[in-house]
A and B are shown apart, each in its own frame.
Chain A
Amino acid sequence: MSPRFARLLLIACFVLSGMVMTREPRAAELTIRGTISQAAWQVYCERFLDPSGRIIDDANGNISHTEGQGYGLLLALAADDRAGFERIWTFTQTEMLLRNDGLAVWKWLPTTPHVPDINNASDGDLLIAYALSLAGKAWSDDRYTQAATALAEALGKATVIDERGESLLLPGASGFATKDRADGPVINLSYWIFEALPVMQQLAPDTDWQALARSGLDLLASARFGDAGLPSEWISLHGGKAKPAAGFDPVFGYNALRIPFYLVRAGIDNPDLLAPFSAAWAGAGVNGLPIINVMTNQIDERLTDAGYRMLPALLACVRSGTKIPSELKSFTPTHYYPSTLYLLSISYLAERHAECL
């Protein structure tokens, strides 16, 4: 199992720094539909979409997970591919949306039993609900909107908690809360998909998703570890103090590199928030994205896939208007995760920063 998916083996709590960020004006929602080419999507599907409708994570033993299904739905919408969207949704609904609480099981194995672990992954559920909601609007299909609503309500009930007056997103319905582990609660800031939270607010207003967005920004400002001032992937908030969670590598790694990505996509361009990531990624467009141990300040490895190098390019575009380098403008699928990040980046640029392309 890759480090990215070691996450649900672990657990955690938290306190908030008193600092209150300047709130960003909420950007208009992304529409996503029609932002990537059919051709690129076709290539992606040939590699990563099984005819049964599951997105295959080929770097993790060809399993599927709700994160992949959620990304797959977003990309199908981006390619305006209703058939593809239907396939992915059908699989997600019949094979994964099984939990008593209305959430999806996080992982599906090609071997039996297909569902060995009943836990959910909150970011996967969030992505699915978000994609369903956008698709319901884009294609005027009420089935999607209804499913998005049910999922958003379930997510709000099961994973959004109030801890010391602060709203938190538990990474899974079980295993991460104060009662579940000694250093609980444990959170993962890359699960805060900021662009989806206003949509959740409309779908499931019983949960205060805006408060969740605020707490996410506050946490980003306080959870800065090591010389580079970066968050670790898994953060213990036990006793109100943020620190790298026990049992996980204290790295700014595969999961966390989505944090600036999600900020950008949500239109949050606060320089204070983005600066540490820009600094850490200086030169990364050429050398690759560093995985940084925030305790030792060592670089564990560099991720050189185009999909990873696209992220600093995206950040540079948004912050300084830098054009995307021409060598990053063509899509060659490598593995599921970087390929997905790549197409999502292109989708965002096409919708909001076409001038960089």
Chain B
Amino acid sequence: MPVRRAFIGLGSIAIVALTSAAALRIGYGPSGDMGLTAQASERTLAGASADLISLGGQDVSARQWPPVDTIQMAQATAVPPVQMPPPAAAPLPPAAPLVTETQPANGTPASSPAPPVTEVSPTPGTATDPNAVDETALRYFARQGDTRRLNAEIGRLRALYPDWYPPDNLTQPKPIADPLLDQMWKYYSDGQYAAARGAIADRLAHDPQWKPPADLLARLDIGEARERLVNASNAQQWDTVVSIAAATPSLLTCADVDVLWRLSEAFAKSDRSSRARDVGTYVLSNCVDPKERLATVQKAMTYLKDGELDDLLKLERVGADGQGEFAPVKGDLARKRVGAAAADPKQKATPADLALLAQIAQNATVADDAVLLGGYWFAHGDPAQAAKWYELAKTRADTPEIARGYAYALNQLKRPADGEAAAYQWRDDSPENKQAYLVVATALLSLDPPAKIEPDVLARMAKAISEARFPQGAQELGWYAYNIGQTLTAARWFTAALTWDPNNEPSAFGLALAYNRLGNKAAFQKVVKVWGPRSERIARLADPRAAAQGRRSSADDLPLPPSIENPGQPVRQAASTGQDTLVPSIDPISSEIGPGEAAVAVDPVPASARVVRTSATRGSNGGGGGACNGSQPAGQLSASAALARGWCMLNLNRSIEAVDAFETALQKGDAKMRQDAAYGKTLANLQAGLTDAAAVSAAAASQPAARSTEMRVAILSQRAIAAYNDNRFVETLMYLNELSQLAPEQNDRLMMRGWSYFHLRRFQEAKQIFVAVAGTGSHEAAKALAALAETTKPR
């Protein structure tokens, strides 16, 4: 952004180009009252101080050792003292062992870690004179009610001056002798280090004789170092974290475990995990806060190796109740190890870990551990256990992962129908879930003897397999259809399988059998000719004794995969067009329209397929075999080539590709070609079930009257069927009425009309229709009349 001149209402201040010290000092910031003498505003805390010290019931004025911070206590009694070095009294020791950058030559035994801060003995000299003890900070913390800092300060002073005891009169603090200094302590205490530094500098500028307390300066150094360490840690600057810790060993105490955690992480993230372990060992050997100890192990879990973590777990303390303090972590650890073993079948989890995790999973309300156990048992060859855990998980959550794991487990337990049901809902969530669904669906289809499969299940499996172009699935659909006697459908599925996988021998075998059973010699011979040399069992089928009597002489209207139709041509990998209508639906029950909703709703494809088949004699533009094989995008073809490909694709039921090809022809062709292309595109859209698009393309070019009528009939039929399937019966009747003006109403449309009346409770009209159709000998109409009679029977 350009920075524009913007006058702000501060007024202009004439520049005084002073090159010497300013005559006029203007105080700045919070210390603006600096010019006042220190005594000018003595504040007392009378009345406010009485109960400031008795915090939490602790009387810190008692003569006995005050309740110092528990950390300090532990250090004073159990381990070499770890204490803050006397600030500015003695130089800090050289690099503390915990943060030396190189390993000691002999390594540091984990059981006896070096203390992170070298012991600093109390500074000798005048410091032993209790009168020399600076109690400013102590009194400040007391007045603030800052128990934690107060106790830490008492502990520090005690360590520094063994003869010193906290004064009795802390509960009645002395009047503040130095308000400016008090303000500096306040800044420090509030963490406003910049302000504290500023106040010190300001006072020094005014009063060069004044000496800031060494204690305050040292504390500021440490406070700033801590802040910088935390910022560096947040910014993942691990070397900076380590070097600050090395330069500031007094930061590394149990009083501030967060700093130790950050140091440990910095070591680990900069490839010094054994040093990270040492920091953890230090904490667990010296610090007593139960929450912090537990958190130390939890954090270490994220970056330590197992062996190093074990070193820390050995330092567990067992409570009076016999419960180890790291029990909650044990669950996390078991989870981590079982998880690793689940991902790697070569690893085995211990029975103890499995038992612990099972117990946790049973008692939990979330599914995660159950899912983990399911995954573990499945990977380790126990699908029954796996299914049990996934079942439990399903009661708590519904996720793609659970659906997938459960489906696979059921499949291994030879329950593919249940597996299909489990996998169906999430099949489109991820490639993994899609794969799981296809696998269990294929397994369900391949059961021997064939399973009884509900029509809706069969339809949805066929749709998924078709959409995924999954050859194994198509192959099994082929066999399923073959086994229940739908031989032509079987041939179509085998063709699909071979289209998606030209080397699928079982499908070629199935295709040969299917054409044999259909008695189509020509198609049968084509399969045998291509596959005979590659498959002995297919070759044997050519034995004349195996061949049935032919009833047809032409294979033209039966499907064959490109690899058989045009052997030797490079097989074009089927392009993914989203919706593939190459394959038919298996229709194990009658698709005639009846009162059963399921029967009506099976699939609209057979209807549109019928439309296409009726137009199979579309004449001169019927595609030659080669037109389907080009790999050129349709848009790059010439108008005539595009038209040829369109017809070819339409014959293969690859309607979306056909639409593309016809569209190209429609754009590039002359008037005659445009007419044909519009016609083809209409048929292709109809085949794809895109009725509205079909209506648009039907209007794209004028057509001969007969063709125009054919297209209108097809479009209206599809709309009528769609409306009927959607229970939109009024619309159904509207379309049927239109249709009746174009073509005589055959039985199937009459039945649709009758059932529409029926559903609209126009029973009289329904009866008229059913009676008329029944008159032609229709069994369906007779059954409809019976249903009508049942419905209208007086109750």
Q: Is A306 an interface residue (CB 8 A)?
A: yes
Indicate if the CB atoms of B19 and A83 lie closer than 8 Å.
Answer: no
List the B side residues contacting A115 at CB < 8 Å. 231, 234-235
Residue from the list A2, A82, A97, A329 in contact with B205, Cβ < 8 A: A82
Q: Complex: how many Å from CA A46 to CA B27?
A: 12
- A19 at the B interface (CB under 8 A): no
The residue that B4 contacts in the complex, of A37, A83, A304, A350, with Cβ under 8 A, is A304
B29 on the A face (CB < 8 A) = yes
> Of the candidates B3, B227, B236, which one forms a contact with A334 in the assembled complex, judged by CB atoms under 8 Å apart?
B3
Q: Is B13 interfacial (CB 8 A cutoff)?
A: yes
State which of A87, A301, A330 has its C-beta within 8 Å of the C-beta of B12: A330
Complex CA–CA separation, A197 to B28 (angstroms): 32
On whether the beta carbons of B5 and A351 are closer than 8 Å, the reply is no
Q: B6 — nearest CB in chain A belongs to which residue? A: A334
- B6 and A93 contact, CB distance less than 8 A: no
B9 to chain A, nearest CB (A): 10
Q: With A51-B194, A93-B228 in contact, do A37 and B15 touch (Cβ < 8 Å)?
A: yes
Tell which of A82, A85, A335, A357 touches B3, judged by Cβ atoms closer than 8 Å: A335
Known A-B contacts A35-B19, A83-B29, A84-B28; A98 and B204 likewise in contact (beta carbons under 8 Å) = no
| A177: Cβ under 8 A from any B Cβ | no
Instruction: Given the known inter-chain contacts A98-B240, A115-B234, A303-B2, please indicate yes or no for A87 contacting B13, CB distance below 8 A.
Output: no
Cβ 8 A contact of B237, one of A38, A87, A89, A100: A100
Report the Cα distance A53→B24, complex, angstroms: 23
Q: Is A354 on the interface with B (CB-CB < 8 A)? A: yes
- Say whether B570 faces chain A, with CB atoms less than 8 Å apart: no
B477 to chain A, nearest CB (A): 54
Binds A, one of B195-203, B275-283, B442-450, B587-595: B195-203
Q: How large is the interface on B (under 10, 10 to 19, 20 to 34, 35 or more residues)?
A: 35 or more
* Chain A residue at minimal CB-CB distance from B223: A94
On whether the beta carbons of A346 and B3 are closer than 8 Å, the reply is no
Q: CB distance B198 to A84 under 8 Å?
A: yes
**Chain A residues, Cβ within 8 Å of B231:** 94-95, 98, 114-115
With contact pairs A98-B240, A349-B17 given, residues A334 and B7 touching in the complex (Cβ less than 8 Å) = yes
Closest chain B CB from A149 CB (angstroms): 15
Are A86 and B200 also in contact (CB < 8 A) when A2-B1, A97-B228 are?
yes
The answer to the question of A80 belonging to the interface, with a C-beta cut-off of 8 Å to chain B, is yes
Q: Are B195 and A303 in contact (CB under 8 A)?
A: no
Question: Which B residues are CB-close (under 8 A) to A100?
Answer: 237-240
- Pick from B13, B16, B235, B240 the residue with the most CB of A within 10 Å: B235
Could you say which residues of chain B place their CB within 8 Å of the CB of A80? 21-22
- A51 CA to B192 CA in the complex, in Å? 9
Give the distance in Å from the alpha carbon of A88 to the alpha carbon of B195 in the complex: 10
Tell me the chain B residues, 218-252 only, with Cβ under 8 Å from chain A. 224, 227-228, 231-232, 234-240
- Do A86 and B198 contact each other (CB < 8 Å), given the known contacts A42-B26, A331-B12, A331-B15? yes
Q: Are B22 and A83 in contact (CB under 8 A)?
A: no
CB of A288, distance to nearest CB on chain B (Å): 9
In the assembled complex, the CB of B216 is this many whole angstroms from the nearest CB of chain A, namely 13
* Set A304, A330, A334, A354: member contacting B19, Cβ < 8 A: A354
Q: Which residues of chain A have C-beta atoms less than 8 A from B28's C-beta?
A: 42, 45, 81, 83-84
Q: B199, B224, B234, B237 — which one has the most chain A CB atoms within 10 A of its CB?
A: B237
Tell me whether A331 and B205 are in contact in the complex, defined as CB-CB below 8 angstroms, given that A45-B28, A87-B197 are known contacts: no
Task: Identify which of A39, A40, A87, A333 contacts B194 (C-beta below 8 A).
Answer: A87
Check B36 for interface membership: any CB of A closer than 8 A. no
CB distance B235 to A98 under 8 Å?
yes
CA separation between A40 and B13, bound complex, in Å?
A: 7
B10 contacts partner chain A, Cβ-Cβ < 8 Å: yes
Residue pair B14, A329 in contact (C-beta under 8 Å)? yes
Interface string of B169-200 (1 = CB under 8 A from A): 00000000000000000000000111101111
Q: Is B235 a contact of A118 with CB atoms below 8 Å? A: yes
Q: Are B15 and A329 in contact (CB under 8 A)?
A: yes
**Docked-complex contact A305 and B197, CB < 8 angstroms:** no
How long is the Cα–Cα vector from A349 to B199 in the complex, in angstroms? 30
Minimal Cβ-Cβ distance residue in B for A305: B5
Q: A84-B28, A98-B235 are in contact. Are A306 and B5 (CB under 8 A)?
A: yes
List residues of B whose CB falls within 8 A of some A CB.
1-8, 10-22, 24-26, 28-31, 192-195, 197-202, 204-205, 224, 227-228, 231-232, 234-240
If A43-B13, A86-B194 are given as contacts, then 14 extra A-B residue pairs at C-beta distance below 8 Å, sorted by A number, are: A35-B18, A36-B15, A37-B13, A39-B24, A45-B28, A83-B198, A86-B200, A90-B224, A95-B227, A100-B237, A118-B237, A332-B7, A334-B6, A338-B3
The 5 closest A-B pairs by CB, nearest first: A53-B194, A100-B239, A83-B202, A86-B197, A82-B201
